[in-house]
Amino acid sequence: MSSCNSLRWKKKKWINYVAGKVKLKKKTLGVLFSSKKTLQIEGSPVTRKGLRKLNIPKGDKVINSKKNIIKPPALGSVLVLLSEKYQGQKVILLKITNSGLFIVSGPFLINGVSLRRVNPRYTLPTGAKVNLENLDLSNFDDTYFKALSRSKKNRKENVVFSHRLRQFFVDRFLSFKIKKNFFLNAYLKTNINFSPFFY
Question: What DSSP line would sit under 109-143, residue for residue?
Answer: HHHSPPSEEE-GGGEEEEEEE---TT---TT-SHH
Residue-level length of the chain: 199
Read off the amino acid at residue 24.
L
Cβ atoms of residues 174 and 77 within 8 Å: no
Instruction: Go through 134-154 and write b for each residue having 16 or more CB atoms within 10 A of its CB, e for each that does not.
Output: ebeeeebbeeebeebeebeee
C-alpha 135, offset from chain centre: 26
pLDDT value at residue 42: 42
CB atoms within 10 A of CB 38: 10
At residue 170 the predicted structure's pLDDT band, cuts being 50, 70 and 90, is very high
Give me the pLDDT at residue 1, please.
54
Q: How far apart are CA 97 and CA 91, in angstroms?
A: 16
**pLDDT at residue 28 greater than cutoff 50:** no
Give yes or no for a contact between 90 and 111, defined as CB atoms under 8 angstroms apart. Answer: yes
Confidence at 8, pLDDT banded by 50, 70, 90: low
pLDDT above 50: residue 126? yes
